[in-house]
Structure formats: C-alpha cells, structure tokens
C-alpha cells in the first residue's frame, strides 16, 4: 500500500466507487461488498496464478498479496495491486504479454 | 435569492497548443451572459502575462499562476489556487461561482491538471471534472500534431474540439485536419471557432450523453475489423460484443492495462452491458485516470451490445483485443 495513501486516505479508486446517484458500483451493501471482494480476489488470482502469486482478502478492508516464496505485501485496492505485484516479482505484469494472454486463452478453452 | 453553488463545482479545462486560440476562445465565452457565474484560472507562462492582458473580464475571481507550466511545476499551485477560490467563495468574499474554467499553457499535458482535480484530498470533495475543450489551429494544427506529442494528447483527451482560424486556412487543409482529428478523437463534437456563434453553455455543459457518439466503429470510418491505423501511431480499437460482461474481470483487466500502459492509452470510452445489471454502464478513462463508472438511465438506442473504444499510441490494437477477450472471457465470435 502506498504509505501516503495509507496516511491521508487514498483517492477513491474507480473499481471501489461509493454508491451514489448515477455512479455504478457493486458496493451497495455489506453483503454485496463482501461478495464483490471475494469475486475480485478470485478474478485477480486467475491472473496472478500465472506469476505464482496469490491474493487474499484481509478483514474486508485490504488485500494481502503473497508470492510462492512467502514475500507478502498488503494492498489497498486494484490500483495498488499491480504496483505491489511488480515490486514483489521484480518484473512487469503486462496484460499485453503474449505468453500471458496465451495462458489465459488456454484456460478459457 | 441566488442559487447555492452546486455540491461539486465542475472544472472545465481549456487546452490547446501554443497560439491555437485558447485565450481568444475564453474571451468570447466569457462575454456570454450564461457564463457570468464562472470563475477563471489562467496560467501565465513566461515573464509577460500576455494571456492576462488579453482577457478582458476575469474579475477578482482570477488567480494568476506564476511559475510556468501547469502540469510539471505548479500542480501544487493549481490545487492551492482552486482551494483558495473555494475558500473565498465559502466565506462570501467571492460571488458564488457555479463553474470554474482553467486555461492551461499550450505546452501542458492536460492529464496532471485533470488528476489534480480528481485526486487532491480536498478538491475531490468540492469539484468535479467538467469538459476538456481543446482548441486546434486550422493553419498550424497539422504540423503541431506531427511535431508535438503534447498536441496529440490534448486532442485525444478532449470532450469538445474547437477548430480555430478556419478563415485563414484553405477548405482542403481544414478538411484534412478535421479527418485527422476524427481519427485521434472519434467522439468529441467538433466546433468551428471562426464561423459559429459559439453557444458557451453548450460548449461547457456536462458531457452526460457523450457515450453514444463513441459507438459503432463503422460510423467513424474504421476498417471492418475495428482497427484503424493513423500516421502518427495513434490507433483506434472499437469493440462491440453481445455477451454481458463480468464487471470484476473487466476491472482487473483495465486496471492492469492502465497500470502498465496508461501513458500510451490516451482514451477509453464505452458503454457496457454488465452481467446482472439492467441498465448500461458508461466507462470513461483518460490515460491513468478513470472516471467513476456511471449508470445510464437506458440504452441510447435499440442496440444492447457493449461498445468500447480505445485510442492508443504505439500499442497494437489486435493485442489489446486479444488480451481483453482472454481476461474477460468474451469470445471472438461475438464481435461486430
């Protein structure tokens, strides 16, 4: 998690938009929010597994990102996820990487 | 009794390359009575505050930004200047302005200005992003697009394009430039600064229904497969697909894409048919910045397909599409 965001309260990320008129969000109530966090963890892990990394929900308030060797980092939202993943991994996580796309396509069948 | 200021005061950005007529446009807009409740922030570039002297009506609501380019050196000053306006308005020292216009320098990358409004911990509770209006000089615009990467970015992020000095350019040159602007930014309405009676209120009004203009690729002269190549390495990808989209997967994909390629992804815009959601959801991103997704009240037409348009520089549209489909699980067969 970005230290400054942790202190100051980071800007609302678009995937975490607060429910308000006109704004689309899945975070409408506590149960839905929890369900969405679980969905998010599962969807992220579908990608992260290709880097041998794992994301887990942490008390409904943050996520814990871990590598296969046990390196761990707490992340606040999806914007921070990829920064942290690259830091732990020591290389970039590129959704346009052909190898990654091919792996994801194979999963889809 | 005058209306209270809105909860979120829209911030309109007027940008455009050096000499493209930003200040002239602003000057004309401010003569419109509809904009009487508008505060203006201009940026003074260099030692001579030329912009300042050209503007006739700024009232006491103007704050001069003294240290040059908005984007790189005085982003903090921009934030401070807007906060100062807000504070003075709240204390009754300024008329209760309902709109703020920021004129950037011609050299400014518009993105940091937008991100200042969206990200500043105070500003984001009192201000929201309005339109980005980009002026393009009909005489020199093509050359600037060739030589200055900032000018391409300024066009790409625009919600409204204003073509200036068309009275000085040949119709052929204007047509060629218009075509090029359409390629870089297929969705922004194009206004002609020299000829039209500019409707200031319409130019600055919130772009609530702009998504429709970004739809079907073929309307914008794209090739049948939805990809279009531009001479300036700006490429457009238009995707249409039938299947309702998994919002969470889409979010994972787009955040990852923007994290790695946000600088090159000039624009993402579209309406999505989200699974388990009755009405369409509008998404709108400018480089690393994604606006909070909006629920539209209804589909703009009978077509219930999701539509996404990407404007990118130096990225392969085919690879973006392949990646999108692999991540979101939308099969290739559903397009077009």
Q: Which domains does chain B have, with CATH numbers?
A: 9-204 (3.40.50.300), 211-334 (3.30.1220.10)
A82 part of contact set with chain B, CB < 8 Å: yes
With 50 as the cut, is the pLDDT of residue A2 above it? Answer: no
With cut-offs at 50, 70 and 90, classify the pLDDT of residue B63: low
Res A16: pLDDT = 75
Are A61 and A53 in contact by the 8 Å Cβ rule? The answer is: no
Are A77 and A5 in contact by the 8 Å Cβ rule? The answer is: no
Which of A23, A79, A93 is opposite residue B292, by nearest beta carbon? A23
Q: What is the pLDDT of residues B132-166, one digit of tens each?
A: 999 999 988 888 888 888 888 889 888 899 999 88
Instruction: Enter the DSSP assignment of B264.
Output: T
Are B314 and B265 in contact by the 8 Å Cβ rule? The answer is: no
Look at residue A19 and tell me if it is in a domain. no
C-beta atoms of B256 and A93 within 8 A: yes
Pull the structure tokens for residue B199.
Answer: 């409707």
Total domains, chain A:
1
State the distance between the two ends of chain A, measured CA to CA, in whole angstroms: 35
With 50 as the cut, is the pLDDT of residue B229 above it? Answer: no
Look at residue A102 and tell me if it is in a domain. yes
Which of A11, A83, A96 is opposite residue B118, by nearest beta carbon? A11
Mutate to test the interface with B, among A9, A17, A19, A24 (most CBs of B within 10 A): A24
What number of other Cβ atoms are within 10 A of residue B327's Cβ? 25
Instruction: Enter the DSSP assignment of A18.
Output: P
> Cα B141 to the chain's mean position, in Å?
18
Indicate the SS3 state at residue B134.
Answer: strand
Helices (H) and strands (E) in chain A, counts: 4, 3
Q: Which residue has the tokens 């380019």?
A: B69
Distances (CA, A) of B217 to B132, B175, B198, B225, B236: 23, 20, 29, 9, 9
Mutate to test the interface with B, among A84, A96, A101 (most CBs of B within 10 A): A96
Indicate the SS3 state at residue A80.
Answer: helix
C-beta atoms of B248 and A93 within 8 A: no
Cα Dmax for chain B = 61
A56 part of contact set with chain B, CB < 8 Å: no
Q: Which residues of B touch A13 (CB under 8 A)?
A: 255
Res B239: pLDDT = 87
C-beta atoms of A11 and B295 within 8 A: no
Q: Where are the beta strands (DSSP E) in B140-210?
A: 160-164, 190-192
C-beta atoms of A105 and B322 within 8 A: yes
Average pLDDT, chain B: 77
In chain B, alpha helices (H): 22-30, 50-54, 75-90, 110-119, 141-147, 149-156, 171-184, 200-204, 247-261, 317-328
With cut-offs at 50, 70 and 90, classify the pLDDT of residue B51: very low
More confident residue, B302 or A86: A86
Look at residue A7 and tell me if it is in a domain. no
Q: Looking at this predicted complex, what is its ipTM?
A: 0.85
Look at residue A52 and tell me if it is in a domain. yes
Distances (CA, A) of A79 to A16, A69, A73, B270: 10, 23, 14, 20
Which of B118, B247, B253 is opposite residue A95, by nearest beta carbon? B253
With cut-offs at 50, 70 and 90, classify the pLDDT of residue B115: confident
Res B144: pLDDT = 86
Res B177: pLDDT = 92
Pull the structure tokens for residue B144.
Answer: 């600037």
Which residues of chain A from 5 to 44 reach within 8 Å of chain B, CB to CB?
A: 8-9, 11-15, 17, 22-26, 36, 39-40, 43-44
Look at residue A17 and tell me if it is in a domain. no
Instruction: Tell which residue, B52, B61, B269, has the closest CA to residue B158.
Output: B269
The C-alpha atoms of residue A1 and residue B126 are separated, in whole angstroms, by 26
Res B196: pLDDT = 63
Look at residue A18 and tell me if it is in a domain. no
More confident residue, B102 or A11: B102
Sequence-ordered list of residues with C-beta below 8 angstroms from that of B142, at least 6 positions apart, any chain: B173, B176, B177, B180
Instruction: Enter the DSSP assignment of B229.
Output: E
With cut-offs at 50, 70 and 90, classify the pLDDT of residue B27: confident
More confident residue, B194 or B299: B299
Which range marks the domain in which residue A95 is found?
Answer: 27-108
Q: State the average pLDDT over residues A13-34.
A: 73
Which residue from B minimizes the CA distance to A108? Answer: B329
With cut-offs at 50, 70 and 90, classify the pLDDT of residue A69: very high
Among positive and negative, which fits the CA dihedral B156, A94, B118, A57? positive
Look at residue A79 and tell me if it is in a domain. yes
Instruction: Enter the DSSP assignment of B105.
Output: P
Res A91: pLDDT = 93
Which of A14, A47, A105 is opposite residue B292, by nearest beta carbon? A14
Residue B2: exposure state from Cβ atoms within 10 A (0-12, 13-18, ≥19): exposed
Q: Which residues of B touch A27 (CB under 8 A)?
A: none
Which residues of chain B from 289 to 328 reach within 8 Å of chain A, CB to CB?
A: 290-295, 315-316, 319-320, 322-323, 325-327
With 50 as the cut, is the pLDDT of residue A5 above it? Answer: no
DSSP H/E element including B266: strand B265-272
Pull the structure tokens for residue B14.
Answer: 């007027």
Instruction: Tell which residue, B273, B120, B243, B248, has the closest CA to residue A27.
Output: B248
With cut-offs at 50, 70 and 90, classify the pLDDT of residue A10: very low
The C-alpha atoms of residue A84 and residue A104 are separated, in whole angstroms, by 21
The C-alpha atoms of residue A81 and residue A58 are separated, in whole angstroms, by 13
Are B310 and B236 in contact by the 8 Å Cβ rule? The answer is: yes
With 50 as the cut, is the pLDDT of residue B218 above it? Answer: no
Q: Which residues of B touch A95 (CB under 8 A)?
A: 253, 256-257, 260, 323, 327
Mutate to test the interface with A, among B115, B124, B248, B319 (most CBs of A within 10 A): B248
Q: What is the pLDDT of residues A40-62, one digit of tens each?
A: 999 999 999 999 999 999 888 88
Res A18: pLDDT = 65
Give B294→chain A minimum CA distance, Å: 4
Q: Which residue has the tokens 């429709």?
A: B212
Q: What is the pLDDT of residues B304-315, one digit of tens each?
A: 888 888 888 889
Give B322→chain A minimum CA distance, Å: 7
What number of other Cβ atoms are within 10 A of residue B105's Cβ? 22
Pull the structure tokens for residue A61.
Answer: 């308030």
The neighbouring-strand residues paired with B120 are: none
Look at residue A14 and tell me if it is in a domain. no
């Amino acid at each position: 998690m970005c230290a400054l965001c942790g202190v100051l309260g980071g800007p609302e990320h678009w995937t975490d938009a607060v429910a308000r008129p006109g704004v689309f969000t899945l975070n409408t109530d506590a149960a839905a929010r929890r369900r969405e966090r679980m969905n998010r963890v599962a969807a992220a892990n579908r990608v992260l597994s290709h880097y041998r990394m794992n994301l887990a929900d942490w008390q409904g308030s943050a996520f814990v990102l871990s590598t296969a060797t046990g390196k761990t980092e707490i992340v606040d939202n999806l914007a921070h996820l990829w920064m942290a993943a690259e830091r732990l991994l020591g290389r970039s996580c590129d959704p346009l990487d052909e190898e990654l796309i091919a792996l994801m396509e194979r999963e889809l069948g | 009794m005058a209306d209270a200021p809105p909860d979120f005061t829209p911030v309109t950005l007027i940008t455009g390359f050096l000499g493209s007529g930003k200040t002239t446009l602003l000057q004309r807009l401010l003569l419109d009575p509809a904009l009487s409740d508008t505060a203006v922030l201009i940026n003074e570039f260099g030692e001579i505050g030329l912009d300042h002297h050209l503007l006739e009506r700024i009232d006491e609501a103007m704050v001069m930004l003294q240290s040059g380019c908005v984007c790189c050196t005085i982003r903090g000053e921009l934030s401070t200047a807007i906060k100062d306006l807000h504070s003075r308005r709240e204390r009754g020292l300024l008329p209760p302005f309902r709109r703020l216009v920021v004129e950037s320098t011609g050299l400014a990358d518009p993105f940091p200005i937008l991100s200042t409004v969206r990200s500043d911990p105070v500003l984001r509770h009192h201000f929201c992003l309005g339109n980005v209006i980009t002026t393009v000089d009909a005489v020199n615009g093509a050359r600037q697009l060739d030589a200055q990467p900032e000018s391409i970015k300024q066009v790409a992020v625009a919600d409204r394009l204003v073509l200036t000095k068309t009275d000085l350019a040949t119709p052929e040159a204007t047509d060629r430039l218009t075509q090029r602007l359409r390629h870089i930014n297929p969705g922004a309405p194009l206004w002609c600064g020299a000829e039209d009676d500019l409707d200031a209120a319409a130019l600055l009004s919130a772009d609530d229904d702009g998504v429709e203009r970004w739809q079907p690729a073929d309307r914008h002269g794209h090739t049948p497969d939805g990809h279009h190549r531009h001479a300036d390495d700006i490429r457009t990808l238009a995707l249409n697909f039938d299947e309702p989209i998994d919002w969470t997967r889409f979010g994972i994909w787009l955040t990852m894409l923007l994290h790695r390629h946000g600088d090159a992804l000039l624009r993402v815009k579209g309406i999505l048919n989200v699974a388990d959601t009755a009405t369409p959801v509008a998404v709108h991103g400018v480089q690393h910045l994604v606006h909070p997704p909006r629920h539209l009240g209804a589909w703009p037409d009978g077509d219930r397909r999701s539509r996404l348009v990407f404007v990118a520089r130096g990225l392969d549209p085919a690879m973006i599409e392949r990646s999108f489909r692999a991540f979101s699980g939308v099969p290739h067969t559903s397009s077009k």
